[in-house]
């Protein structure tokens, strides 16, 4: 049976609790894997418009907060007083569907169909908006192409129409490491290493230079280093939200992503980082130029690279809030 994402926070600080808002958890049948389910969570008042919020492959349905009282995984963008305020919107989060054996990778179109299944189960004909970052942005593009009637506006952050070859190269190495670890019986350590490799692609050399001392003090070639300790810690934390097999499935899904922007007419806000190594600024510009509907692009200077969407959420909110608040005619002008 297809399991849902672990009920843990994916490597982010807590945010303020959103108060006693209605919360609805549902099981969603997975269209591409009959007989299996994943889970979604809707937070907010019944009359409020729905905004779907999806992040990277380690994100989950707890975008507004976790059952134990911790804040959700996107602080600064989703929360009381933020651009996506559960007092104003019903926020829909989702556990991505994956092959928990690691043998197959769903497409982003498959994942978009899961979003539609969640909307159907909740009785939501059309989402007011969709805000997706990284893998979530890819799913948003697939949703807008396949099911344009199901969303009114789309925000795509750090995601393109297809994977860049350099990003695929990073992920190919990660998957090979994890596969070797599974075969050797050291899957947990392999996943830790793969996550460390991922962190190097998410962040930037200037940030590492500011935070850590380079070099190895010990004669032991496997001795500890400052940046290595950081990557090890992030890799170990990753195991709380990801299994090696699930990682293979969702990492592969990223590299299966393809959309045709010329078929997407939904009003779209595109946001990227000038320093992103995985989704290059040129990809964000090309995506915007190819979209059939009204679209605008903002490229932000950030030391955090691809992780800008998590580390500088308030900056995103300043762009996203007016986009979500605008009337459809304003966006079509």
Query: How does 121-147 read in b/e, with b if 16+ C-beta sit within 10 Å?
Result: eeebeebbbbbbbbbbbbbbbbbbbbb
96 touches 110 (CB < 8 A): no
258 pLDDT exceeds 90?
yes
Distance (Å, whole) CA 258 – CA 277: 19
Strand-strand pairing, 90-94 and 154-157 = unpaired
Please choose, from the candidates 34, 174, 182, the residue with its C-alpha nearest in 3D space to the C-alpha of residue 103.
182
Q: Do 281 and 249 reside in the same domain of the chain?
A: no
276: burial class by Cβ within 10 Å (0-12, 13-18, 19+)?
A: buried
Q: Which residue has the tokens 């989402």?
A: 127
Catalytic site includes residue 4: no
pLDDT at 12: 35
The domain total for the chain is 2
135 touches 310 (CB < 8 A): no
Q: pTM to 2 decimals? A: 0.92
pLDDT at 327: 74
Q: Do 160 and 84 reside in the same domain of the chain?
A: yes
Tell me, yes or no, whether 12 lies in a domain: no
Tell me, yes or no, whether 308 lies in a domain: yes
pLDDT at 150: 98
Provide the percentage of residues in the chain whose pLDDT is more than 70.
Answer: 92
257 pLDDT exceeds 90?
yes
Q: What is the pLDDT of residues 189-217, one digit of tens each?
A: 999 999 999 999 999 999 999 999 999 99
By mean pLDDT, which of 2-11, 202-211, 233-242, 261-270 is the weakest? 2-11
**Annotated catalytic residue within 4, 82, 251, 306:** 306
Q: How many CB atoms are closer than 10 A to CB 164?
A: 16
Please choose, from the candidates 88, 91, 24, the residue with its C-alpha nearest in 3D space to the C-alpha of residue 55.
91
**Annotated catalytic residue within 11, 85, 99, 276:** 276
Q: What is the pLDDT of residues 67-105, one digit of tens each?
A: 999 999 999 999 999 999 999 999 999 999 999 999 999
100: CB partners within 8 A, 6+ apart = 2, 3, 243, 245, 246, 249
Q: Do 144 and 209 reside in the same domain of the chain?
A: no
Q: Do 134 and 112 reside in the same domain of the chain?
A: yes
Tell me, yes or no, whether 10 lies in a domain: no
H or E element: which one contains 8?
Answer: none
Catalytic site includes residue 220: no
Catalytic site includes residue 249: no
**Annotated catalytic residue within 58, 134, 251, 302:** 134
326 touches 83 (CB < 8 A): no
138 touches 254 (CB < 8 A): yes
Please choose, from the candidates 228, 97, 105, the residue with its C-alpha nearest in 3D space to the C-alpha of residue 175.
105
Average the pLDDT over 109-122 and give the result. 98
Average the pLDDT over 2-18 and give the result. 35
Average pLDDT, whole number, for the chain?
93
Final residue belonging to a domain, choices 234, 254, 274: 254
Tell me, yes or no, whether 285 lies in a domain: yes
Q: What is the pLDDT of residues 286-300, one digit of tens each?
A: 999 999 999 999 999
Helical segments of 44-164, H only: 108-122, 135-146
Average the pLDDT over 154-170 and give the result. 98
Local confidence band at 329 (pLDDT 50, 70, 90 cut-offs)? low
pLDDT at 219: 94
pLDDT at 24: 96
Local confidence band at 10 (pLDDT 50, 70, 90 cut-offs)? very low
13 pLDDT exceeds 90?
no
Q: Look up the domain containing 200 and give its range.
A: 165-254
Q: Do 190 and 212 reside in the same domain of the chain?
A: yes
Q: Do 185 and 37 reside in the same domain of the chain?
A: no
Final residue belonging to a domain, choices 254, 284, 300: 254
Distance (Å, whole) CA 260 – CA 145: 7
Q: Do 182 and 231 reside in the same domain of the chain?
A: yes
pLDDT at 4: 34
Q: Do 27 and 125 reside in the same domain of the chain?
A: yes
Distance set, CA 283 to CA 124, 269, 270, 280, 288 (Å): 32, 14, 11, 5, 9
CATH classification at residue 186:
1.10.1740.110
254: CB partners within 8 A, 6+ apart = 57, 135, 138, 163, 167, 171
Q: Do 226 and 132 reside in the same domain of the chain?
A: no
Q: What is the pLDDT of residues 233-254, one digit of tens each?
A: 999 999 999 999 999 999 999 9
Final residue belonging to a domain, choices 254, 288, 317: 254
pLDDT at 333: 36
pLDDT at 330: 56
Q: Do 122 and 264 reside in the same domain of the chain?
A: yes
Tell me, yes or no, whether 14 lies in a domain: no
Q: Do 77 and 189 reside in the same domain of the chain?
A: no
């Amino acid at each position: 049976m297809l399991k849902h994402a672990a009920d843990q926070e994916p490597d982010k600080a807590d945010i303020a609790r959103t108060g006693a808002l209605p919360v609805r958890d549902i099981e969603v049948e997975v269209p591409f894997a009959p007989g299996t389910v994943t889970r979604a969570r809707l937070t907010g008042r019944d009359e409020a418009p729905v905004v779907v919020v999806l992040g990277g492959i380690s994100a989950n349905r707890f975008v507004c907060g976790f059952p134990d009282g911790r804040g959700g995984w996107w602080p600064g963008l989703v929360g009381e007083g933020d651009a996506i305020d559960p007092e104003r919107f019903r926020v829909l989060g989702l556990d991505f569907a994956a092959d928990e054996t690691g043998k197959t990778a769903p497409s982003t179109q498959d994942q978009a169909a899961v979003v539609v299944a969640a909307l159907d189960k909740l009785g939501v004909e059309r989402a007011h908006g969709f805000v997706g970052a990284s893998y979530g942005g890819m799913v948003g593009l697939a949703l807008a192409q396949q099911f344009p009637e199901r969303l009114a506006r789309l925000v795509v952050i750090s995601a393109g129409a297809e994977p860049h070859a350099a990003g695929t190269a990073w992920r190919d190495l990660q998957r090979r490491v994890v596969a070797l670890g599974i075969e050797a019986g050291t899957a947990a350590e392999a996943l830790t290493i793969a996550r460390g490799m991922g962190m190097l692609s998410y962040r930037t050399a200037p940030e590492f230079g500011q935070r850590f001392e380079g070099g190895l003090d010990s004669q032991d070639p496997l001795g500890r280093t400052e940046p290595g300790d950081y990557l090890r810690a992030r890799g170990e934390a990753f195991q709380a939200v990801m299994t090696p097999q699930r990682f293979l499935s969702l990492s592969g899904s990223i590299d299966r992503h393809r959309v045709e922007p010329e078929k997407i007419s939904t009003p779209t806000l595109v946001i990227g980082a000038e320093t992103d190594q995985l989704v290059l600024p040129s990809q964000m510009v090309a995506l915007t130029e190819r979209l059939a509907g009204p679209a605008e692009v903002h490229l932000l200077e950030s030391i955090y690279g691809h992780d800008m969407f998590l580390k500088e959420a308030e900056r995103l909110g300043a762009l996203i809030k007016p986009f979500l608040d605008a009337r459809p005619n304003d966006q079509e002008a």
